[in-house]
Amino acid sequence: MTRKYFGTDGIRGRVGTQQMSADFVLKLGWAAGRVLAGENGGKVLIGKDTRISGYMFESALEAGLSAAGVDTRMLGPLPTPAIAYLTQTLRCQAGIVVSASHNPYYDNGIKFLGPDGGKLPDELEEAIEAELEKELVTVDSASLGKVRRITDASGRYIEFCKSTFPSSASLKGLKVVVDCANGATYQTAPNVFRELGAEVVAIAADPDGVNINKACGATAPDALAEAVLAESADVGIALDGDGDRIVMVDEAGRVLDGDDIIYLIAMHRQSQGHQVGGVVGTLMSNLGLELALRERGVSFERAKVGDRFVMQGLRRNGWELGAEPSGHVICLHASPSGDGIVAALQVLAALVASDKKLSEMASGIEKLPQVMINVPTPGKVDLNKYGAIQDAVAQTELELGEAGRVLLRPSGTEPLVRVMLEGKDAGQIQSLCESLAGAVEDALKSAG
């Protein structure tokens, strides 16, 4: 089935457009209620991040679910991993997240979670799309869904996060800077690390509805690096707007991405005697990660870009650890879904156990230079239909030879084509990447 609304991570778009309007989201709530909770109702959780449009969309979803005869449990601003956890522990039929993750405030999105807290399988997303084509029919008044707010949701999630950190260990003596991206973790993240004993300096923890992800968080870690140096902190942690991405900063101000983080966690698990069969990365994962893991006897597999594909790879192989360089880090031994706070705690547990600085721990992975340029597109594009782009890729691969690789990938969440090159010579791949990105841009303009 060709999808009309769902992308790689739910439904996302600019607020006010067709699929991100109040009337569409109301009907989406109704359609999702009919598919996920069935004819006999049930209950669904709704949580959100801090962007201003969340008020409008949670109300619209609530109305649509009620019209379908589904009870709703409202969580308010809470990280996506918290909503996944609570969906499972409260035995709900589904969880719904109102968030556009790392996007600017003027975008928003709707993500659906199954009863296990995981992302919905393709067939259920397709079933929701099929319901959207039908006329909205409200159940009898006596069968309308009811709404209740879960007042202790944040506290429940904080306790869950703390439970993934060794009970015999403490963060006492560590100074940690936490960048909350003015997003959904602004209350939970500082409290988790503080309650485990760390001295916490929180930045970008004052959301106003429009400053989410603005020059802060996992997609803009420069402010965190500056704060770590200014505060003489031991480590910095940057989360994204909905809390499922993480990047870290060592005591010297160097940014550690998802490749570095999953390497640290894998090596710590191995040092503690746990069997680490393998790690799942993506097509964007640095070759240096693969080489470092294999050198230490840990298998590595690449999945398509998207944390849902990383999760599929883990389940297929029976492995526990996976990550994207962008900061989606999955630790199935600790959490059923990717979780920025939980991933940070796994690294901090390794840091406390090693009695080393974070920069020393991360030195075991030597990453190859990698350059990525985002090229705007008019919408979804099929790159295979552009002969000029295929010729430019072939020429670039010829110049790189066996010393590097080229990857072109349309974004699943934004109107962009990501042009990525990797190789041994930083200057060469920067030049080649700029040239290839220019060729892609020219080809798209000529066709448009």
- Find out whether 242 and 208 touch, Cβ atoms under 8 Å: no
Within-domain flag for 223: yes
Question: Do residues 245 and 268 share a domain?
Answer: no
Within-domain flag for 26: yes
Among residues 367, 383, 405, the one where a domain terminates is: 367
Tokens of 367: 């990453």
Question: Do residues 177 and 308 share a domain?
Answer: no
DSSP per position, 21-41: SHHHHHHHHHHHHHHHT-TT-
pLDDT of residue 39: 61
Question: Do residues 279 and 329 share a domain?
Answer: yes
Instruction: State the CB neighbour count (10 A cutoff) for residue 69.
Output: 23
Q: How many domains does the chain have?
A: 4
pLDDT of residue 77: 97
Tokens of 312: 């599929």
Question: Do residues 275 and 261 share a domain?
Answer: yes
Within-domain flag for 167: no
Question: Do residues 26 and 112 share a domain?
Answer: yes
Question: Do residues 33 and 115 share a domain?
Answer: yes
> What pTM value is reported for the model?
0.88
Q: What range does the domain containing 220 cover?
A: 172-254
Within-domain flag for 391: yes
Q: pLDDT tens string for the chain (448 positions)? A: 567 889 878 999 999 998 899 999 999 999 999 998 766 678 999 999 999 999 999 999 999 999 999 999 999 999 999 999 999 999 999 999 999 999 999 999 999 999 999 888 889 999 999 999 999 999 999 999 999 999 999 999 999 999 999 999 999 999 999 999 999 999 999 999 999 999 999 999 999 999 999 999 999 999 999 999 999 999 999 999 999 999 999 999 999 999 999 999 999 999 999 999 999 999 989 989 998 999 999 999 999 988 889 999 999 999 999 999 999 999 999 998 899 999 999 999 999 999 899 999 999 999 999 999 999 988 788 888 899 999 999 999 999 887 788 999 888 777 899 999 998 889 999 999 999 999 999 998 887 6
Within-domain flag for 415: yes
Q: What is the CATH number of the domain that holds 192?
A: 3.40.120.10
Residue 117: left if φ>0, alpha if ψ -120 to 50, beta else—which one? left
Question: Do residues 143 and 25 share a domain?
Answer: yes
pLDDT of residue 382: 85
Question: Do residues 179 and 299 share a domain?
Answer: no
8-state DSSP, 403: G
Question: Do residues 15 and 84 share a domain?
Answer: yes
Instruction: State the CB neighbour count (10 A cutoff) for residue 124.
Output: 17
Question: Do residues 118 and 186 share a domain?
Answer: no
Question: Do residues 39 and 100 share a domain?
Answer: yes
Q: Is 247 helix (H, G, I), strand (E, B) or coil?
A: strand
Q: Is 12 helix (H, G, I), strand (E, B) or coil?
A: strand
Q: Which residues are catalytically annotated?
A: 101
Q: Please report, for residues 222, 306, 310, the alpha-carbon distance to residue 102 in angstroms, rounded to integers and kept in the order given.
A: 16, 14, 19
Question: Do residues 225 and 295 share a domain?
Answer: no
